[in-house]
A and B are shown apart, each in its own frame.
Chain A
Amino acid sequence: MMDFFSVFGFDANTEWVLTGSLLLGFASGTIGSFVLLKKQSLISDAMAHATLPGVCLVYILFQVKSIPLFLIGAALTGLLATQAIQLIINRSRIKTDAAIGITISVFFGFGIVLLTYIQQHFGGSKAGLDTFIFGQAASLVKSDVQVITIGSLILTLIAALFFKEFKTVVFDPSFAKGIGLPVRLLDGLLFSLVLLVVVIGIQMVGVVLIAALLITPPLAARYWTEQLGVMAFLGGSFGAVSGISGAVLSTTIDHLPTGPMMVLSASSIFFLSFLFGSKKGMFTRMVKQL
Chain B
Amino acid sequence: MSYTLWIILTGCLVGITCGMSGVLLLLKKMSMIADAISHTVLLGIVGAFFVSQSLNGLPMLIGAAVVGLATAFFVESLHRSGIQSDAAIGVVFTSFFALGVVLISFIGDQVHLDTKHALMGEIAFVPWDTLQINGESYGPVAVWMLGIVLILNLTLIAAFYKEMKISTFDPQYAKLIGVPVVLVHYLLMGMVSLSTVASFDSVGAILVVAMLIVPGATAYLLTDRFLTLLLLSGIVGIFSAIIGYGAAVYWNVSIAGAMASATGLLFMVAFLFSPKHGWLMKKVKQRRLAAGS
A141 contacts the other chain (Cβ, under 8 Å)? no
Given contacts A106-B264, A116-B253, A264-B102, contact A212 B90 (CB under 8 A): yes
CA distance A110 to B256 in the complex (A): 10
Across the interface, B263 reaches (CB within 8 A) one of A93, A105, A261, namely A105
Q: How many A-B pairs fall under 8 Å by CB? A: 183
Which of B94, B217, B221, B257 has the largest count of A CB atoms less than 10 A from its CB? B94
A120 contacts the other chain (Cβ, under 8 Å)? yes
Across the interface, B258 reaches (CB within 8 A) one of A97, A101, A113, namely A113
Selecting from A39-47, A178-186, A194-202, the interface stretch reads A39-47
B7 contacts the other chain (Cβ, under 8 Å)? no
Cβ of B80 to closest chain A Cβ, rounded Å: 12
Across the interface, B91 reaches (CB within 8 A) one of A39, A100, A120, A216, namely A216
A79 contacts the other chain (Cβ, under 8 Å)? no
Cβ of A192 to closest chain B Cβ, rounded Å: 21
User: Chain B, 239-281, contact with A by CB distance < 8 Å: what is the 0/1 string?
Assistant: 0000000001001111011111101100100010000010100
Contact A101 B35 (CB under 8 A): yes
For chain A, residues 113 to 135, give those with C-beta under 8 angstroms from any C-beta of chain B.
113-117, 120, 130, 133-134
Quick one: closest A residue to B108, CB to CB? A255
Given contacts A92-B279, A112-B256, A120-B252, contact A41 B98 (CB under 8 A): no
Given contacts A105-B263, A263-B94, contact A113 B254 (CB under 8 A): yes
Which of B89, B221, B261 has the largest count of A CB atoms less than 10 A from its CB? B261
Contact A98 B98 (CB under 8 A): no
Q: Please indicate the chain A residues that have their CB under 8 angstroms from the CB of B220 in the complex.
A: 93-94
Grouping DSSP codes into helix (H, G, I), strand (E, B) and loop, the A interface class, with mixed when no group exceeds half, is helix
Grouping DSSP codes into helix (H, G, I), strand (E, B) and loop, the B interface class, with mixed when no group exceeds half, is helix
Given contacts A101-B32, A113-B254, contact A260 B82 (CB under 8 A): no
Total interface residues on B, CB under 8 Å, equals 58
Across the interface, B267 reaches (CB within 8 A) one of A42, A106, A115, namely A106
Interface residues on A, range: 35 or more
Contact B94 A215 (CB under 8 A): yes
User: Chain B, 209-228, contact with A by CB distance < 8 Å: what is the 0/1 string?
Assistant: 11011101100110000000
Cβ of B68 to closest chain A Cβ, rounded Å: 16
For chain A, residues 233 to 290, give those with C-beta under 8 angstroms from any C-beta of chain B.
255-257, 259-261, 263-264, 267, 270, 280, 282
User: Chain B, 176-218, contact with A by CB distance < 8 Å: what is the 0/1 string?
Assistant: 0000000000000000000000000000001101101110110
